[in-house]
């Protein structure tokens, strides 16, 4: 007579049958541990939104933290938190050191908001960390170049394609129409733009090979200093808040001064005045 072989349960199934409650508790513990680790990582990332993002090291400013209605005056040593609004009054100037050591310099009548990328270990670009609402800010990350110059109500883009070469007030303009300016510096060069009469509105600058306009707010002023990239041709003008042209447009060219460029200038000449900074 043939005996049937008795099937024995597999060890793991046999263990589960006798330790069902223990298995469920162990599984719940593992799930809780995983959730705890994920929550810890999320909290570390979220904590990057807290704590100081910078410190005022020079000057006096007005500060408005998030959730506060009014601005309050603060001095050097004040720490700024994420989303703090900072304002410099007329004739004011301030210097802020960000948490990574970069320096911001705020000129008068400037309003900014200090921000921090979501993840603390992510440095982010300067434009992600500083929002300029009004005025002028310079920073070491752009070689002291203006970050952004914005106003409360930006006028429509004026027409800077036609160059005015017959304006009778040109004698007090700089750079004048069709000027060639040669400097030995490379990169960005400081240009002092000037016009005959004090104006309130905006200095508008456009590089000829680009369509973007660069606005700088002026208030009863006859000049403005800007850092302008080398080796390019530009058109500039002064307009008021209603887009009315007060001076310009005027074209000029900025070149790096070398022996070859100087020889070429003397040989070929230019349409307008030439200015060489040896």
pLDDT tens for each residue of 130-170: 887 777 777 654 333 333 333 333 444 444 444 444 443 44
Tell me which of 92, 113, 146 is where a domain ends.
146
Q: Is residue 34 part of a domain?
A: no
Residue 11 banded pLDDT, cuts 50, 70, 90: low
pLDDT for res 169: 42
Task: Give me the CATH number covering residue 224.
Answer: 2.60.40.10
Is the model's pLDDT at 7 over the cut of 60? no
Tell me which of 146, 178, 201 is where a domain ends.
146
Same-domain status, 111 and 56: yes
- Mean pLDDT over 222-247 rounds to 89
Asked whether the beta carbons of 118 and 140 are under 8 A apart, the reply is no
Closest CA to 137 of 104, 93, 109, 114: 104
Same-domain status, 126 and 186: no
If one compares 54 and 116, the residue with the highest pLDDT of the two is 54
Residue 86 banded pLDDT, cuts 50, 70, 90: very high
Domain span at residue 88 reads 52-146
Half-sphere exposure of 178 (CA within 13 A, CB side): 11
Cis geometry, peptide bond prior to residue 249 (ω within 30 degrees of 0): yes
Residue 162's Cβ-count burial label (10 Å; 0-12, 13-18, 19+) is: exposed
Q: How many helices (H) and strands (E) does the chain have?
A: 4, 17
Give the relative orientation of helices 20-47 and 11-18 as an angle to the nearest 10 degrees.
90
pLDDT for res 108: 86
Helix or strand or coil: residue 23?
helix
Helix or strand or coil: residue 116?
coil
Q: Output 272-276 pairs: Cβ under 8 A, ≥24 positions apart.
A: 272/176, 272/177, 272/178, 272/179, 272/180, 273/176, 273/178, 273/179, 273/180, 274/179, 274/180, 274/182, 275/175, 275/179, 275/180, 275/181, 275/182, 276/182
pLDDT for res 124: 52
β-pair type (130-134, 110-114): antiparallel
CA distance linking residue 197 with residue 205, whole number of Å: 18
Same-domain status, 197 and 252: yes
Q: Six-digit token pair at 260?
A: 């070859």
Same-domain status, 116 and 183: no
Q: Is residue 88 part of a domain?
A: yes
pTM of the predicted structure, to 2 decimals: 0.40
The 10s digit of each residue's pLDDT in 167-197 is 434 457 888 888 888 887 888 888 889 888 8
Asked whether the beta carbons of 76 and 58 are under 8 A apart, the reply is yes
| Residue 250 bridge partners (DSSP) | 236
Q: Is residue 253 part of a domain?
A: yes
Enter the DSSP assignment of 72.
E
Q: Is residue 18 part of a domain?
A: no
Closest CA to 211 of 150, 155, 161, 154: 161
How many structural domains does the chain have?
A: 2
pLDDT for res 78: 92
Half-sphere exposure of 203 (CA within 13 A, CB side): 25
Asked whether the beta carbons of 133 and 112 are under 8 A apart, the reply is yes
Q: Is residue 3 part of a domain?
A: no
Q: Is residue 186 part of a domain?
A: yes
């Amino acid at each position: 007579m043939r005996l049937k072989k008795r099937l024995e349960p597999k060890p793991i199934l046999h263990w589960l049958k006798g330790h069902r409650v223990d298995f469920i508790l162990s599984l719940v513990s593992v799930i809780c541990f995983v959730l705890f680790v994920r929550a810890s990582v999320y909290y570390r990332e979220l904590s990057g939104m807290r704590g100081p993002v910078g410190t005022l090291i020079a000057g006096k400013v007005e500060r408005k933290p998030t959730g506060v209605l009014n601005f309050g005056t603060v001095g050097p040593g004040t720490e700024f938190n994420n989303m703090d609004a900072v304002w410099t009054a007329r004739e004011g100037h301030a210097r802020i050191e960000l948490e990574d050591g970069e320096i911001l310099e705020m000129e008068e009548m400037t309003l900014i908001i200090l921000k921090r990328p979501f993840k603390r270990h992510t440095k982010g670009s300067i434009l992600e960390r500083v929002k300029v609402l009004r005025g002028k800010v310079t920073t070491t990350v752009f070689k002291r170049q203006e970050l952004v110059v914005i106003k409360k109500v930006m006028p429509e883009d004026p027409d800077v394609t036609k160059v005015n070469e017959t304006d009778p007030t040109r004698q007090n303009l700089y750079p004048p129409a069709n000027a060639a300016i040669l400097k030995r510096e490379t990169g960005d060069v400081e240009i002092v733009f000037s016009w005959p009469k004090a104006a309130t509105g905006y200095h508008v600058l456009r590089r000829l090979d680009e369509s973007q306009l660069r606005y700088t707010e002026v208030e009863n002023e006859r000049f403005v200093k800007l850092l302008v990239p080398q080796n390019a041709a530009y058109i500039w003008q002064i307009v008021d808040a209603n887009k009315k042209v007060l001076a310009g447009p005027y074209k000029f060219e900025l070149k790096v001064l070398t022996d070859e460029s100087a020889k070429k200038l003397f040989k070929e000449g230019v349409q307008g005045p030439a200015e060489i900074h040896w």
